[in-house]
Structure 1
Amino acid sequence: MTTLSRYLRQPHPAHCSCSVCWSRTATAQPAGSPSTPCNQCRPVSVSRDALTGRWLLKPAFTCAKHTPADRPQKWWFVIHDSGKPTPFVPIFEPFELEG
């Protein structure tokens, strides 16, 4: 009789292509996502001047690559525009079908 515990926690082969091994190698690689700051982007910084005692503020800078777009994403679109919405008018008087 074969049990499940026999197959659990077994080592994977060297070139295994299962989803577990693939996700392990894919997450180990650094991702070039838009949220990852580059060497041109800098956060806001606040420091105090030693001579005058005034606070100095360096504003944040975001490069063109990481600046969000003014337009919505490509997947954002209207599926079906049926025109102007029809208002709901309640009927207070009962009616009978003719026919």
Structure 2
Amino acid sequence: MKTLGDTLKCAREEKELILRKVAAEVDIDQSLISKFEKNERKPTMEQIVRLAKFYGLPESELIINWYSEKIAEELKYTESTSEILKVAEEKINYYKAQENGK
């Protein structure tokens, strides 16, 4: 399974770009991009959007990866993970229904 960092690093390497070039193009510090690629730090949503556009990657794919890693990191030492995720999904559906006036 590829991490977000793996995906970003592969995209950069496929385009044969050095970190400095990517940093200049997307206006994100080179050391930050390096940390993203090493999974030492998570990009912000704005940075995800910029990197997706720059690399020509599907924005939704990176966002899903970003959120899933955030959730996985939060729950990795928790018991009943499946139940937590099931209830969270139910709550999300409830919130969406409330917003739509149902």
Fold-level match, TM-score > 0.5? no
TM-score (norm 1): 0.19
Which entry has the higher C-alpha Rg, 1 or 2?
Answer: 1
Which structure has the higher relative contact order (CA within 8 Å, separation 6+)?
2
TM-score by length of 2: 0.18
Which structure has the highest strand share of the two? 1
